[in-house]
Structures are given as structure tokens and as C-alpha cells.
Amino acid sequence: MADTLLEVEGLSVDIKTGNGTLHTVRNISFSVKRGETLCLVGESGCGKSMTSLAIMDLLPKGAKRSARQLVFAGEDLTSKKADQFNVLRGNRMAMIFQEPMTALNPAYTIGDQLMEGYRRHKSAGIAEARDRAVFLLNKVGIAAADERFGQYPHQLSGGLRQRVMIAMALMCGPELLIADEPTTALDVTIQAQILRLLAELREELGIAIILITHDLGVVARIADQVAVMYAGEIVEQGRATDIFSDPRHPYTRGLIDCIPLPGKTTPGRKLGVIPGVVPSLIGEITGCTFRDRCAHAEAQCREPPPPRQVPHHSWRCILEDA
């Protein structure tokens, strides 16, 4: 059985604001094994991206991270100083950011940006770094890699820029790859290609992937494990097959009901909706944060929801079954 690469326990991220403390991530726990894909899924603003930034130690100024345990490949990330984290980040841990047009520097060629991190982490010369970059550009499906190497980001399409971001993340051969909405703003054909590429790279290179998305269609294609986030906390997690076949939390059920299923959803039928809005996470938070949007809410939902668990599947709700 694959060993655990990343262990997260009790991770929280708080941001001081003029109105009080914003609790963007609240006491979440999960683990990722080598060669496994974990999908963090949920609505925009539920804390998915902030979770990834906390793991990579890239939180914005004013944000404070705390965790009972944050261990990568046996190393305690909570005790590392900035210079020690710089040795890991971009090398053994890499991230594909959400928008490749803003993540890539428009003033430098694709090749220069690909080589920079590799030369820094591997103490490599220009020739070695160039060979590695061209190899990976080919690997991620970019034709005429030698020509693309000297181009600028604005000369590439959105799909090609996303492939460049994947190649950049793979330059140093990371053990963990975090992909933050890697298919956002791409058409469905390119989206399918990117997902297939990530799956192939995971199989070939044995890397672990944390994929952040709000699209359950994406999750169904690539995930081994799923963690459903709502209002800064994980409300349900388990194997992807269990989450889709037997969702236990009302929020997870609501997300799945919003998806048209080929062969099952009748043409013209209205899809499900989740009424209301995500509550404010500023100040004190009590009880189940989903209660004001939940059809099953009762008075006891004002208290912390009890943890529930069956083999390989856990959730937090008064209901034993949604």
C-alpha cells in the first residue's frame, strides 16, 4: 500500500480584519498518499485555495496559519523557516496556480521562466535546464517545443499557457503537485486534455496530486479521494466512489444534484439548487454553518455537528444518512 506523503491535522487559517477575525480555514484534517489524487471541492470562497496556500506557505500578508500537524514526507512544515521552505517549494512541492495568464510573467519568455526554478534548485547550467524544459514541454503535449521555448505568454493560447504551468511545476520532479482550478476558463475539449494529462503524469511519475475545483464533473474523472469543503471546514470526505454513490452530508447531496448526469438526467428537467448564501466567517462561529440552507435543519444544528464515520467515509451532520 502506498505510504502517506502529506499529513494535515487541525489546519486553520485566520485573517485579522477591521470587523474581526476572518476564519477562512477551520480545523481541517486530511492525508494524501504517494501516487494518489485528492480533490478539494466546494463553492467559491469555502477555503480551498487558502488551504493550498497554507500548505505551500504562500499565505497573504496578515494571514496566520496554525496546525496540530503538517507533515510532508516525514518533515514538519510548521517548524520550517522561510529559507528552509524555499528549498522545498518549487522543488519537492509544486503548485499550478489558478490563472496562467497572471501567474506567468509577461516580460520573460516561457523558456526563461521554466529554467529559473530548475537552475536555482538543481544548480544546473543553462544547457541542462534548457534540455529539461524542452523535454517537459514535449511531455505536456506542446508541439514545436523548441519554438515555443522562446515565445512570450501572450503568444500562447489559454490551453498552451496551462500546459506551460504544468511543465513549470514538474521541472524539478516534485513529489506533491497542487493544482488550483487548473481547468478554469478552458473550453471542455482543452479541459479534458488537461485532466487526461494530469492523470497520465500521476501514473507515470508516481506523484501525489491535490486538485482544487468547484466542478464535480472534474472530480469524477480524476479523484481517488474527495474532501468536500463548506465555510472553511471539511464536511465530508472519503473515496470518490463512495462520495458519488452514497453522499451522506446534505451539502454534498446538493452539489451532486446540481450536475446533469448523461443517461440519467431527463432533457428539460430542472437541476437541483442550493438556496441561500454561505454565511460570514468573521467572528464567532457556532453550530452547523450549513443549517440556514439545509432542508433537514433542526434545533440541535445550532450545536457543533457530531462526527459520523463508516469505513473509508466520514462526515459531520446530525443525519446518519442524507
Q: Could you read off the pLDDT of 239-251 as tens digits, one per residue? A: 999 999 999 999 9
Phi, psi dihedral angles at 296 (to 5 degrees): -100, 10
Confidence category of residue 264, pLDDT binned at 50, 70, 90? low
* Overall average pLDDT of the 54-76 stretch: 95
Beta strands in 188-297 (DSSP E): 208-213, 225-230, 233-239
Bridge partners, residue 28, by sequence: 11
Question: What is the chain's length?
Answer: 322
Q: Could you tell me where the beta strands, DSSP code E, fall in 18-160?
A: 20-33, 37-41, 63-66, 69-72, 75-76, 93-96
Q: Is the pLDDT of residue 316 over 90?
A: yes
Residue identified by cell 502506498 is 2
Sign, Cα dihedral of 291, 259, 315, 30: negative
**287 to 69, 245, 259, 279, 291: CA distances (angstroms):** 24, 27, 28, 12, 8
Q: What are phi and psi of 294, to 5 degrees?
A: -105, 135
The reported pLDDT for the residue numbered 126 is: 97
- Cα separation, 233 vs 194, in Å, equals 28
In sequence order, which residues have a C-beta less than 8 Å from that of residue 171 and are 6 or more positions away?
114, 115, 117, 118, 132, 133, 136
> How many Cα neighbours within 13 Å face the side chain of 71?
12
Task: Say if residues 230 and 250 touch (Cβ distance below 8 Å).
Answer: no
Alpha-carbon distance 105 to 189, whole Å? Answer: 26
Q: Which grid cell is 39?
A: 480533490
User: Which tens digits make up the pLDDT trace of 111-124?
Assistant: 999 999 999 999 99
More confident call, 272 vs 14? 14
For residue 184, give the C-alpha cell.
478554469
The domains located in the chain, with CATH, are 4-92+174-316 (3.40.50.300), 103-173 (no CATH)
